Amino acid sequence: MATKILTVEDDERIRSAVKLAFEEEGWDVSEAGTGEEALAKFSLELPDVVLIDIMLPGIDGFEVCRALRRESDVPIIMVTARADTHDVVAGLEAGADDYLTKPFAPKELSARIRAMLRRARNSDGQTLQRIKVGDLEISPEEGIVLKGEEEVHLTKTEFKLLVELAGQPGKVFSREVLLERVWGYDYFGDGRLVDVHVRRLRTKIEPDAANPRYVVTSRGMGYKLQP
Amino acid sequence: MGLAWRPLGLRTRVSVSYALGALALSSALALAVPALVQQRLLTNTQSAAQDQVWRNAEALRRDIASSTNDGEPLTENGISSALDDLLRSNGALLLLLLPDGEPRSLSGLLETNIPISVAETVATAGAAQQLTNINDIPQLVIGLRIAEIDATYYELVPLDDLNTTLNTLRVVLGLMAVGSGAAAALIGYYSSRRLLHPLSEVATAAQAIASGRFDTQLDEQPDPDLDRLTTSFNDMGDALRQRIERDQRFASDVSHELRSPLMTLSASVEVLKGRQNEMPEAASQAVDLLASDIARFQQLVADLLEISQLDAGAIVLDRSPLLVGEFLYRVLDQFGASAVISPDPRESEIAVLGDKRRLAQAVSNLLENANKYGGGAKLVRFSGDSSVVTIEVIDDGPGVPEADRTRIFERFSRAGADAGRRETATGVGLGLSLVSEHIRLHEGRVYVTDRLDGKSGARFVIELPAFHRAAEDGELAL
């Protein structure tokens, strides 16, 4: 079955051009011009990846993202105006997995989407043993994290990040290493992806997100999972 | 050479004119007051002297008269004792001329000392007085005719006391003139400083505006005289700021507006490129041209946006510790440059705290520049001490002429653009200006020199503050 992409973008010409490029990749593309339309289409079509432009008339991209996150862990890519505005962090905090700045080359987007689909589908044949750290129990194979008795709902990216860190508890992972292993970025990926995802992860698994017990920052170097 | 002539400062001029004014005023007083006082004292002294002389003459007359019985001639003894009495009682210089023509004096006053005009007036009018100098002492000469004994009586009243007083007064007033001149200079200096204080605030504010802090405002002044200056200065600042903001917004808006069509163009040309093998040769070449120029266009718009953000001060660096060797290795790898890195990046701990992607863009722009003008970078060298990390990008092209070394870091400038050396120049001149702006944001600097080994070529140097890693608090996972 072909991969299905939902493109949420209010400029019809961009939508058409992106659709053409994606169809060249062999993907199914459905389009939405507003946030409302996007939410309606999402529940109908259940796409594999959602691409959202932040600047939308009516409910904006952040709101669409938050609404989708409430019901789904579908991979979401945000399209922002600039890389260094607060939009990027806000988009990631709203639940996006990755972002691109406009104008992007569709090839770049395809590469991102492929990387995202890869991590949505498997865990690259990593050690699939259960990992127990403190109260946490991580089952890479089933994609489940238990905090005590309770299941924690993580997005695919958050889960992959946690599994990477849990693979070598106590070892420090630089942002570059995590960007490469979780997102498939090279050295020049945006470290804020890691920072915001760590933050999101902490709010879900830490007893106190402000004083993390599990995912600890190693000053100036990266992150580690405290055994 | 001698010092150049500079006009005096306002403050000096105010002080000097205050001093001159005070000096003129007090000098005029110092001159006028003794004259007035002299006049007044003289009048007083004269009338007192007149009274005295009248009394003396009267006493003399009585003495002489009493010493002679009616009708008897004056005795020499009587005259002498009368004069003697007078002399003892007030020590005056006096002279008595008797009808026998023999002058009588006990104090050395001679008839020749009496001015002729006085003698004549006494002879005709019966009394006279005149100021004169005798033995260099100002004296008042008073003459009286004593008709009863047919004698003429002269007395000299010395005025040297008066002169001493006046001289003291002159000295005191003169000193006061000098003193008040100096005081006025000081007052002028301080009051002008006080007056000029708002001006120095304006100067400071203007300097701040000139250095780019356009939100600089002067404080409201309660003084209505200064209020106008403050208000118009602040209005000017506002107008300037609005204008600059409008220009910046324009650049930013234009770039934003360009992005949507660019997005459509780049997506469409990618579809075309994917189908290039189905096209006739000419169409395929056209698609190549289109694709490469769309890429250039995208870079230009991205650079313009970056510049407009830099101008608006809206850039927030995303800084993290970077190992310079590894960083340069990655940049060269991504850029596809064949330059040698020295020393071996794997063995270096030299680090900076930087925005990885902006620094990467800066180094890439230098590599791009070397490609365009220097036949490609040959060597990328880095080094660091406790405070500064230096990155050099060295090519073996023609180098950058001395005169262009500042200009090439300005926007839309190109090395040797005016010398016709632009055959390979296809890019726009934003690259190096962005390098300069980004490095400046990192508290560093960038410049270009000749190669140090004497060969032909340019050596671009980036200097950044060194970063020292704190004690490690964990083992790094690889």
* The domain made up of B224-311 is a member of CATH 3.90.850.10: no
* Predicted pLDDT of residue B420: 43
Q: Which of B264, B330, B477 sits opposite A13 (nearest CB)?
A: B264
Are the C-beta atoms of residues B151 and B97 closer than 8 Å to each other?
yes
Q: Residue A175: which domain range?
A: 131-225
Alpha-carbon gap, residue A197 to A193, rounded angstroms: 6
Distance of residue A169 Cα from the nearest chain B Cα, in angstroms = 10
Domain shared by A94 and A176, yes or no:
no
Query: What are the distances in angstroms from CA A127 to CA A121, A159, A168, A182, B192?
Result: 16, 14, 11, 15, 83
Domain shared by A48 and A143, yes or no:
no
Tell me the pLDDT tens digit for each residue of A89-125. Answer: 899 999 999 998 888 888 888 888 888 877 655 555 5
Domain shared by A71 and A178, yes or no:
no
Query: What are the distances in angstroms from CA A99 to CA A42, B18, B204, B223, B264?
Result: 19, 72, 45, 56, 18
Domain shared by A114 and A38, yes or no:
yes
The arithmetic mean of pLDDT across residues B39-44, rounded, is: 84
Residue of B91, B77, B86, B90 whose CA lies nearest to B146: B86
Alpha-carbon gap, residue A152 to A144, rounded angstroms: 7
The arithmetic mean of pLDDT across residues B141-153, rounded, is: 80
Alpha-carbon gap, residue B122 to B115, rounded angstroms: 11
Within-domain flag for A126: no
Range list of H helices, B211-338: 224-274, 281-311, 324-335
The count of domains in chain A is: 2
Residues with Cβ within 8 Å of residue B270, at least 6 apart in sequence: A21, A24, A105, A106, A107, B291
Selected residue with higher pLDDT from B457 and B11: B457
Within-domain flag for A208: yes
In sign, the C-alpha dihedral spanning B20, B26, B28, B31 is: negative
Topology alike, domains B224-311 and B319-417+427-467: no
Residues with Cβ within 8 Å of residue B32, at least 6 apart in sequence: none
Domain shared by A78 and A171, yes or no:
no
Amino acid at B457: G
Confirm or reject contact between B262 and chain A (CB < 8 A). Answer: yes
Rounded to the nearest 10 degrees, how much is the dihedral formed by the CA atoms of B440, B445, B451, B453?
A: -140
* Predicted pLDDT of residue B393: 93
Q: Is B452 exposed, middle or buried (0-12, 13-18, 19+ CB in 10 A)?
A: exposed
Q: Which residues of B315-352 are buried (b: 16+ CB within 10 A; e: fewer)?
A: bebbbbbbbbbebbbbbbeebebebebeeebeebebbb
Residue A144 has a CB neighbour count (10 Å cut-off) of 15
Quote the tokens at residue B308.
């407009």
Provide the β-strand partners of residue B156.
B93, B141
Residue A217 has a CB neighbour count (10 Å cut-off) of 15
Alpha-carbon gap, residue B159 to B152, rounded angstroms: 22
Q: ipTM value of the model?
A: 0.81
Confirm or reject contact between A102 and chain B (CB < 8 A). Answer: yes
What are the DSSP E strand ranges found in B284-426?
Answer: 319-323, 340-342, 351-355, 377-384, 388-395
Above 60 in pLDDT, residue B13? yes
Confirm or reject contact between B357 and chain A (CB < 8 A). Answer: yes
Residue A16: list chain B partners with CB under 8 A: 264
Query: How many pairs of residues across A and B have Cβ atoms under 8 Å apart?
Result: 108
Alpha-carbon gap, residue B266 to B298, rounded angstroms: 9
Between chains, do B270 and A84 touch, taking CB under 8 Å as contact?
A: no
**All structural domains of chain B with their residue ranges:** 10-167, 224-311, 319-417+427-467
Backbone angles phi, psi at B457, to 5 degrees: 150, 165
Above 50 in pLDDT, residue B1? no
In the DSSP assignment, the letter for residue B476 is B
Looking at chain B, the whole-number percentage of residues with pLDDT higher than 90 is 17
Angle at B271 between CA B265 and CA B273, to 5 degrees: 100
Q: Output the domain CATH number for residue A144.
A: 1.10.10.10
Are the C-beta atoms of residues B251 and B308 closer than 8 Å to each other?
yes
Q: Output the domain CATH number for residue A44.
A: 3.40.50.2300
Residues with Cβ within 8 Å of residue B382, at least 6 apart in sequence: B324, B325, B328, B341, B342, B343, B348, B350, B389, B390, B391, B392
In the DSSP assignment, the letter for residue B419 is G
* Predicted pLDDT of residue B2: 47
Backbone angles phi, psi at B343, to 5 degrees: -75, -175
Within-domain flag for A173: yes
* Predicted pLDDT of residue A97: 93
The arithmetic mean of pLDDT across residues B267-288, rounded, is: 92
Report how far Cα B354 is from the mean position of its chain's Cα atoms. 41
The arithmetic mean of pLDDT across residues B129-140, rounded, is: 78
Confirm or reject contact between B472 and chain A (CB < 8 A). Answer: yes
Q: Which of B267, B320, B477 sits opposite A18 (nearest CB)?
A: B267
Q: Which of A93, A121, A149 is the last residue of a domain?
A: A121
- Max intra-chain CA distance, chain A: 52
* Predicted pLDDT of residue A51: 93
Distance of residue A23 Cα from the nearest chain B Cα, in angstroms = 9
Confidence of residue B219 (pLDDT cuts 50, 70, 90): confident
Residue B254: list chain A partners with CB under 8 A: none
Domain shared by A35 and A64, yes or no:
yes
Provide the β-strand partners of residue A29.
A5
Pick the CATH number of B319-417+427-467 from 3.30.565.10, 3.10.50.40, 3.40.640.10, 3.40.710.10: 3.30.565.10
Tell me the pLDDT tens digit for each residue of B50-92. Answer: 888 888 878 777 777 776 655 555 666 767 777 777 777 666 6
Between chains, do B256 and A190 touch, taking CB under 8 Å as contact?
A: no
Within-domain flag for A210: yes
Confirm or reject contact between B469 and chain A (CB < 8 A). Answer: yes
Residue A102: list chain B partners with CB under 8 A: 259-260, 263
Tell me the pLDDT tens digit for each residue of B82-125. Answer: 777 777 766 667 777 776 666 777 666 777 777 888 888 888 88
Amino acid at B415: A
Between chains, do B270 and A220 touch, taking CB under 8 Å as contact?
A: no
Between chains, do B261 and A13 touch, taking CB under 8 Å as contact?
A: yes
The arithmetic mean of pLDDT across residues B210-228, rounded, is: 78
Domain shared by A116 and A142, yes or no:
no
Domain shared by A77 and A153, yes or no:
no
Alpha-carbon gap, residue A94 to A87, rounded angstroms: 10
Between chains, do A21 and B315 touch, taking CB under 8 Å as contact?
A: no
* Predicted pLDDT of residue A201: 92
Superfamily (CATH H level) for B10-167? PAS domain (3.30.450.20)
Alpha-carbon gap, residue A35 to A67, rounded angstroms: 10
Distance of residue A71 Cα from the nearest chain B Cα, in angstroms = 31
This prediction has a pTM of 0.63
Average pLDDT over chain B, rounded to whole? 81
Instruction: Write down how long chain A is.
Output: 227
Q: Which residues of chain A have pLDDT under 70?
A: 1, 82-85, 119-128, 220
Distance of residue A150 Cα from the nearest chain B Cα, in angstroms = 30
Between chains, do A187 and B330 touch, taking CB under 8 Å as contact?
A: yes
Between chains, do B264 and A187 touch, taking CB under 8 Å as contact?
A: no
Tell me the pLDDT tens digit for each residue of B343-373. Answer: 887 778 888 999 988 999 999 999 988 988 8
Domain shared by A115 and A136, yes or no:
no
Written as one string, the DSSP assignment of B19-56 is HHHHHHHHHHHHHHHHHHHHHHHHHHHHHHHHHHHHHH
Domain shared by A8 and A115, yes or no:
yes
Q: Which of A24, A102, A187 sits opposite B271 (nearest CB)?
A: A24
Q: Which of A88, A121, A154 is the last residue of a domain?
A: A121
Q: Which of B268, B315, B477 sits opposite A172 (nearest CB)?
A: B477
Tell me the pLDDT tens digit for each residue of B383-435. Answer: 988 889 999 999 988 888 888 888 888 887 655 554 444 433 445 568 888 99
The H or E element that residue A6 is part of is strand A4-8
Q: Which of A121, A143, A163 is the last residue of a domain?
A: A121
The arithmetic mean of pLDDT across residues B319-327, rounded, is: 87
Are the C-beta atoms of residues B369 and B358 closer than 8 Å to each other?
no
Domain shared by A58 and A91, yes or no:
yes
Q: Is B170 exposed, middle or buried (0-12, 13-18, 19+ CB in 10 A)?
A: middle
Selected residue with higher pLDDT from B464 and B49: B464
Domain shared by A52 and A109, yes or no:
yes
Above 90 in pLDDT, residue B280? yes
Report how far Cα B136 is from the mean position of its chain's Cα atoms. 57
Confirm or reject contact between A3 and chain B (CB < 8 A). Answer: no
